[in-house]
Amino acid sequence: MRYAMVIDTLKCVGCSDCVVACQTENNVPHGYCRDWITESVSGSYPNVELELKSERCNHCDNAPCVRCCPTGASHIVEGGVVLVTANECIGCGACIESCPYDARYQHPDGYVDKCTFCHHRLEKGQLPACVSVCPTKCMYFGDLDNPNSEVSQLLKNRKYKTLAPEAGTNPHVFYLI
């Protein structure tokens, strides 16, 4: 089992529904977020291109945040999901510094928080909250170890990229382009 998320940038409209849905699902306090939208514009009028992306923790295979965590609060569970155990976290912030994607934040209660791929929902056989609400259905989630899964098929048949591949983290959020 290897969970991955695939996001189709050709369909994402940058509406941020994924952000609000995550905030309400995971009780993320106002002013913080586990996922966020980036917009990049290139070219010049009237030959312009726009890419909208929903970003979050990449649940990296080679996760610097886990390696640098002094207490072991940051760890990887089955399916490759990177999690933080709140009551083991001392809030030192080393992981925040080490993450090339700026995916982690310090919760006002003192520990470090980030996207969990909605692990509590996966356990119940549900999709992550962001994936389940996205109005354009541009987000896909599934098991990369299964060659027939939607995510495997999409990556087989479509052009895609990952973010900051040069960081060598082996991220597991993929963007169809």
DSSP 8-state code for residue 86: G
* Distance (Å, whole) CA 140 – CA 144: 11
What kind and span of H or E run contains 133?
A: helix 129-133
CA-to-CA dists, residue 55 to 10, 146, 148, angstroms: 15, 24, 25
Q: Is 68 exposed, middle or buried (0-12, 13-18, 19+ CB in 10 A)?
A: middle
Interface residue with ligand SF4, options 2, 23, 34, 101 (CB under 6 A): 101
Choose between 45 and 84: whose C-beta lies nearer to ligand SF4. Answer: 84
Find which of ligand SF4, another protein, none residue 105 binds, CB within 5 to 8 Å per kind.
another protein
Q: Which does 84 bind (CB under 5 to 8 A by kind): another protein, ligand SF4, none?
A: another protein
116 is a contact residue toward ligand SF4 (CB under 6 A): no
By CB under 8 A, name the binding residues for another protein: 10-11, 13-17, 19-21, 23-27, 29-33, 36-39, 41, 43-46, 48-52, 55, 83-87, 90-93, 102, 105-111, 113, 116, 119-120, 123-124, 132-138
